[in-house]
Structure formats: C-alpha cells, structure tokens
Amino acid sequence: MDHECRHIHGAPDDSGQLDRVLVKFNLQRAAHCRPFSFMKHLFFTLPLVAVLVIAQGKRTFTGIITDSMCADGDHSRMKMGANDAECTRACIDAHGAEYVLYDGKEAYTLSDQKTPEKFAAQKVTVVGTLDPKTKTIKVESIKAAQ
C-alpha cells in the first residue's frame, strides 16, 4: 500500500515481526512524509500570513475624540468644563490624559496628540494603522465624520 505515505512492503510471519514492521513503517513514513508535510504546512500557512499582514495595514476608524480619563466619552463624572469638549481638553491639560478615539466599544490611543484637540468631543474618521497589542492607532489623518 502506498497511499499518503503509508507504504508497507511484505506481510509479517509472526507477531514479533509485526511489531518490527510497524516500527519500521512508522520510521519510513516519518522520513518520507517530512518534506511533503513541510510543503503542505507552508502552502497553507503563507496565505494566512499574507492575510494577517494585509489586515494590519491602513484602516478607517470612526468614533468620538475623547480623553483617556473619560475613555467611554462620558464626561458627567469629571465635570471639568461646561461641555464635553472643554472637559476633554481639561483632562489632557490638567491631568496628563491622552486623546483617544472611542468607537462605542473600545478606546484607542492616538499617536497624533495635536490634531485631535480641534476635534475634541466630535465624531471623526481616523485613517491609520492599529497596533492591537497597545490599542494605539498610528494616525495618518483625522477628519470630521459625515
């Protein structure tokens, strides 16, 4: 039989010989199949790697510009200004918070900490690359959302 690296040559005469044949069979199979197995894994892994690299490329994110202290956009607890925009700017200036983009579920730190100031508490579209480990968007552009 020679089907998918399962070749057995000859029939055993006794049970001891059967054990030796099976050991030999497994060793032959492992040695014979290794290059094929490697190529098979390579064939299936490369497209997956390519998809992951492409997925980590430039994306568009939409959400509210807020600060890391009020990351969910709720400024009612802080009361650091007359409105959400003033509170966001006050948290940045007075408390060392960072500008973040809150999309309704997650808050993402923005690599650009100057541009978001003019969009504080506004819905925006950010184009950039996300680092999923740090939840930081490397910002290419920020504009008011439509």
Q: How many domains does the chain have?
A: 2
> Which tens digit of pLDDT belongs to each residue from 3-59?
444 444 455 455 555 555 444 555 455 555 555 566 666 566 666 655 555 556 899
Q: Are residues 20 and 82 in the same domain?
A: no
Q: Are residues 34 and 67 in the same domain?
A: no
Residues spanned by the domain of 63: 59-144
Q: Are residues 115 and 63 in the same domain?
A: yes
- 87 exposed, middle or buried (CB, 10 Å; 0-12, 13-18, 19+)? buried
What own/partner pairs with CB < 8 Å and gap ≥ 24 does 55-58 have? 56/129, 56/130, 56/132, 57/129, 58/127, 58/128, 58/129, 58/140
Q: Are residues 48 and 100 in the same domain?
A: no
Identify the residue whose tokens are 């910002």.
139
Q: Are residues 8 and 47 in the same domain?
A: yes
User: Is pLDDT larger for residue 52 or for residue 1?
Assistant: 52
- State pTM to two decimals: 0.61
Q: Are residues 105 and 124 in the same domain?
A: yes
